[in-house]
Amino acid sequence: MTGTAQLHQPVELFDDLKHLEPRVASSAQIALFLDFDGTISTIVPSPGDATLDPEIRSTLTRLAARREFNVSIVSGRAVADLQKRAGLANVIYAGNHGLEIEGTSTRFREPHAEAFRPELRSLALQLKLALSDTEGLEIEDKCLSLSVHFRRVNEALHDWVRSVTFSTVARSRSFTCSEGKMVVEVKPQVDWNKGHAVKWILREIVPYSALPIYLGDDLTDEDAFGVIPQGITIKVGDAADSRAQYLVPNVRAVEQFLQWLDLSKPHASIANSQRAGR
């Protein structure tokens, strides 16, 4: 895996499926990577209320059961939270922006991030004190990272929340901030992100020849788009510049693509019969 995709205007995915179908059909294995919130779960005011879209659940259950597919969910949420909300078998869960990865026979924790856990608890307390009494604010402690959610905060206070969060975290010198959709992500200053997690899964778990396909809606997904220029990368949401090749508008379109993927990739038993001339 070499090269890094550059920012550009993605192409509408459903206008180009006829060009993708031969690649999908001819690949022995598909490595399917999916963000959670905003990709397979509709964005909701409170992160605690998020659920896996029922139709996507049905499709992913079928795909994860097929030996031609390796399915991974890559999210800022903690692995335990993802497992509870998704509840899918035969799936790799990469949580905390890839700092922790778990599968059927796999368990990985980024070692430097683990070492910062006591300091992270202290930082969470500092943020709660600094941002106390802010109605609608939620600070989510995910053990290896924090999320400061301000979607339900009065819009007039959004810049203040960002400023206080960034300045508080900057004083720690061990953590860094990045913005997502109505959230500030607080992560340890380690060289690891969703892109690193995708590369690790492709190297350690998925067959080398697998075709990687990644769908995500947030800024943190750009790191993953950038590391698999040889794959199929799909941004979910608005048409702003991205490292992704393709664009779909919403979670419902993701479901349509997953159904197309299931139909376009022949089952191994069918493909074997066709090769045998039956």
Of 15, 35, 141, 159, which one is the catalytic site residue?
35
One-letter amino acid for residue 9 of the chain: Q
How many CB atoms sit inside 10 A of residue 16's CB?
12
Asked if residues 235 and 38 have their Cβ atoms less than 8 Å apart, the reply is no
Task: Tell me how far apart the alpha carbons of residues 258 and 250 are, in angstroms, rounded to a whole number.
Answer: 13
Nearest Cα neighbor of 125 from 80, 73, 172, 77 is 172
Nearest Cα neighbor of 237 from 213, 219, 225, 258 is 219
Beta-sheet strand order (sheet of 175-180): 138-141, 146-149, 183-188, 175-180
| 141: annotated active-site residue | no
**Vertex 133, ends 130 and 138: CA angle to 5°?**
80
Which residues carry out catalysis?
35
